[in-house]
Structures are given as structure tokens and as C-alpha cells.
Structure 1
Amino acid sequence: MKKNMGSADRIIRVIIAAIVGVLYFTGIISGTVGIVLLVLAGVFVLTSLISFCPLYAPFGISSCPMKESK
């Protein structure tokens, strides 16, 4: 897998996942919506760790900085 996520994208995803986790475990969000958001937060953390987002690939999106060739 070729990396397609830059560091800013990864940091934002981890922050969002942490916020969702805190909201879920403090009981602010619950039920089906809470579980769905918690699973999505897990996916955000996983994709941040591997620096690859499968949804970016089909659309050719990449938030990685372009490396200049000399």
C-alpha cells in the first residue's frame, strides 16, 4: 500500500477519534449512533497508524506532501 495520508490528516483523524471516544465513554453519545461513531473512530485510528485511507485510493486523493524530484 502506498501512503496517501499526510501528517496533518493523520493528526486530525486521531483528534476526532479521541473526542468521539470521550463522548461515548462519558455517556454523552450512546445507543446505535454511539456505536457507529465509535467504530468510525476506530477506523480513523487504524488508517492514521498505517497512513493509508482506502476511500482516498479510488478517487486518487492524497494528502501527502509532494516530493520534488531533482
Structure 2
Amino acid sequence: MKKNMGLTDKIIRSSIAVIIAILYFTNLISGTLAIILGIFAIIFLITSFVSFCPLYFPFGFSTRKEV
């Protein structure tokens, strides 16, 4: 599993996950929408921590700067 996510990509994904969590805990989202967005938030956090996005892989796409 080769890393394919750059720092900016990881920051954006983590920020979106935090925003979703804030919306949930302030009761601005609930029900099915909260569940779906919660799943996306968890996926965003996992992909940010491992620096690998499975959707980028088949297309050979990478936001990581090669040094």
C-alpha cells in the first residue's frame, strides 16, 4: 500500500470529519443523515491516518509530493 495522500488532502479530510462531529454533537444533524455523514467522517479519518485513499489507487492519482 503506497501512500498517495499529501498533507493538504489529509488536513481537509480531517477538518471535514471534525465539522461533521461538531454538527452531530450540537444536534444540527440527526437520523439517517447523521449516520451517513458519520460513516464518511470515519472513512475520512482512517484514510488520513494511513495516508492512502483506495479511490485514488485505480486511477493512479496522488496528492502526495514525491521528493
Q: How many pairs are equivalent?
A: 67
Partner of 1:62: 62
Q: State the TM-score, normalizing by the size of structure 1.
A: 0.92
What pairs up with 1:28-47 in 2 under 5 angstroms?
Answer: 28-47=28-47
Q: State the TM-score, normalizing by the size of structure 2.
A: 0.96
Residues in 2 aligned to 1:26 and 1:39: alpha-carbon distance in whole angstroms: 18
Q: Which aligned runs of 4 or more in structure 1 are off by greater than 3 angstroms? A: none
**What's the secondary structure of 1:62's corresponding residue?**
coil
Deviations 1:34-65 (A, max 9, x none): 11001100000000000000011011110001
Give me the CA root mean square deviation: 0.7
Shift of 1:19: 0.1
Q: Which amino acid aligns with 2:5?
A: M
Instruction: Kindly name which structure, 1 or 2, has the bigger radius of gyration based on alpha carbons.
Output: 1
Identity percentage of aligned residues: 55
Shift of 1:66: 2.6
Partner of 2:13: 13
Unaligned residue ranges in structure 2 (runs of 5+): none
Partner of 1:50: 50
